[in-house]
Chains A and B, each alone.
Chain A
Amino acid sequence: MDELDWVSIKSGILEMARKRGAEVARVGDPALLEDAEPGLRPSDLLTDVKSMIVLGGAAPRAAEWQSPRVEVMETVGTADRMAALGSSVARHIEDTYGYYALNVPTSTDQDDKAFLDFKAAAIAAGAGSASLAGPVLDPTYGFLYLTVILTTLPLPVDGPLQEAACPAPQCVEMWDEKGTTPCMAVCPIDDGGCLGGEIQEGLVIKRRYDEEKCRDRVYHYWTPGYQAALERALDEPDARKRKMILYGSFFTRTMWSITYSGVSQGQCFECIRACPVGTEQRVLI
């Protein structure tokens, strides 16, 4: 069999993804994630996996970032678009080239663990770099929703980025002057928030992250909120007070969010709202 032009094939696949809405499209080496917990490695999801295609896109609109009303960002999330694109790319690979391809589910499974560490995949592919705030940040676009396609197609890999997007120059400047960064200032772990850390010689060190608190903010009205309100109701011996809890706005809101999960992916964006990475894309009239 003639050797296929993997470079052209890769180029065609990534270009297709970009035309269909991916802002970022990169290929990573799945071997870089093989030291993950067993069951959560690329080879646990697709035997003989050769490539990880990582796509980033569907970020909230600039107007949504700027809205003074938090319920805007809480209810217009569009993460499902990337999952749909990922499925489409996977099917295209299988139909066109005859190699296995699958779109990794974005949801979590047992013990609330993701099927694959999307952040690690994105970093390995250079579809962004790690941030103090948590989300992977693309140097140009900042925060993007991600999807990962695993395939047995042996595509040439892009590597991790040479330069991290975080900390941004403005953040280094703020750290030098005030001992904090925009994300830490808006959500300080030592003052009821989720984030802490230091910047030394332009690198983030000693990152501190309250995962539980962040989860309760990101999933404010989703399953964790439902569970918390339900627990409170079950612990309440007074039937009238139970009614006030279960019929009340918080529990009702968790139900709407669970029902409309596709637009309730993230219910706290405050660290990224303050982040300067990618803001050039949001300077509109």
Chain B
Amino acid sequence: MTTVEGEVEATDPGDLEVVTNAIKQVGINAGATLVGVAAADAFNEYVPAGHRPEDFLPGAQSVVVSASLGPTNAAWQSPNRRLMEITGYDFRENVASIVIAEHIERTHGYLAMHAPALPTSGQQPPLSMMLSAVLAGLGTRSIAANIILNPTYGIMFFAAAITTMRLTPDHQLEENVCPARSCVRMYEMEGKTPCMAVCPADEGGCIDATIENGEITSSFFDRERCSTRAMNFGIRGHIKQVEILTGIDDADERRELIYSDDFRRNMSSIGRYKESVSQCFECMRVCPVGRYRRKLK
């Protein structure tokens, strides 16, 4: 378990930084690996009205973002990619966010909610957890599918609590984690970074970018193609199969689809929600950020 740096004993309610640290520690005790705080109004520069913290909680002051690791290191090493795709995401950061929200309400008397992140309109979540993580200083946006990379851990998963309590905000990291030095070297040699090479947009993949002087100068990400990979089985596949079924007149043909392994696997992902997302890690598998932490005995 990690611990928050700095003093966490909330002995002086007037010391905002100490109180903030104590709240962060609540999240870590509840299972988060890292916790950061973003100022609520920091979102306004990046997202339109309707998708800002204050749209969900009028008077919002802070967004407390919890981050957790995904697959265990062994899962990354498994020769069976489906193992990681099915068990990779345990939603621990969501538990931490709920615990943080309840702690703020019960201990400090300020309004606090578990930020709504479940997509409610197609692929669109009400509030972006990725942007929340960036603004809370937990990572920066990468070339690889715009995934937020923490400088130490690499890919992480995020949830948040929105609150009317003013907390000491963390700030966006000053340096972009991506591209890593080895990626810049590869780009200079090959015109691609590892993630771009494994999933190139110009060859049926999802990712493209340009790098100049070691910095990202442009980026492209095909989210819909990525969805066919990251949500390979589940909601979207099921919807397509239902559409196909409604157009089949032949009973035998319908039966063949209904009893197909793909239909069953789509239903399995729907029935076990943890299986339904994060079903592609190929750009992250080749990403150097955080990779060296995954080598164990």
Contacts and interface: CB of A to CB of B under 8 A. Distances in A.
Direct contact of A and B (CB under 8 A): yes
Interface of A: 61-64, 66-69, 71-72, 74-76, 78, 230, 233-234, 239, 242-243, 246-247, 249, 251-253, 255-256, 258-263, 284-285
Contacts of B218: none
Contacts of A64: 113-114
B132 interface: no
A273 to B, nearest CB: 14
Interface string B84-122: 000000000000001001100100011111101111111
Contacts of A255: 235, 238-239, 270
A284 B55 CA distance: 18
27 contacts: A61-B101, A61-B111, A61-B114, A62-B111, A63-B163, A64-B114, A66-B57, A67-B57, A68-B56, A69-B55, A69-B116, A75-B116, A75-B117, A76-B113, A76-B114, A76-B116, A233-B246, A242-B246, A249-B122, A253-B121, A259-B235, A259-B270, A259-B273, A260-B273, A284-B105, A284-B110, A285-B164
B75 to A, nearest CB: 22
B58 interface: yes
A234 B126 contact: no
B122 A63 contact: no
A63 B120 contact: no
B121 A249 contact: yes
Nearest to A75: B118
A144 to B, nearest CB: 14
B74 interface: no
Contacts of A78: 98
Contacts of B238: 255
Question: Top 4 A-B pairs ranked by shortest CB distance?
Answer: A63-B111, A63-B113, A255-B235, A75-B118
Contacts of B243: 233, 242-243, 246-247
Interface of B: 55-58, 98, 101-102, 105, 109-114, 116-122, 126, 162-165, 234-235, 238-239, 242-243, 246-247, 269-270, 273, 276
A251 B270 contact: no
A121 B25 CA distance: 38
Given A251-B239, A255-B238, 5 more contacts: A61-B113, A61-B114, A247-B243, A256-B119, A259-B273
A285 B247 contact: no
Contact of A72 (B56, B164, B239): B56
B116 A63 contact: no
A253 B270 contact: no
A72 B111 contact: no
A72 B118 CA distance: 9
A230 B164 CA distance: 41
A239 B248 CA distance: 11
B109 A284 contact: yes
Given A259-B276, A261-B273, A67 B239 contact: no
B239 A252 contact: yes
Contacts of B163: 63
A224 B129 CA distance: 29
Given A64-B113, A67-B113, A71-B120, A246 B239 contact: yes
Contacts of A68: 55-56, 58
Given A61-B101, A249-B122, A230 B242 contact: yes
A285 B98 CA distance: 18
Contacts of A234: 246
Contact of B105 (A62, A233, A259): A62
A69 B58 CA distance: 10
B120 A74 contact: yes
B112 A63 contact: yes
A259 B109 CA distance: 33
B111 to A, nearest CB: 4
Given A64-B113, A246-B239, A261-B273, A256 B246 contact: no
B246 A61 contact: no
Contact of A253 (B101, B120, B246): B120
B86 to A, nearest CB: 14
A71 B55 CA distance: 11
A63 B126 contact: no
B93 to A, nearest CB: 14
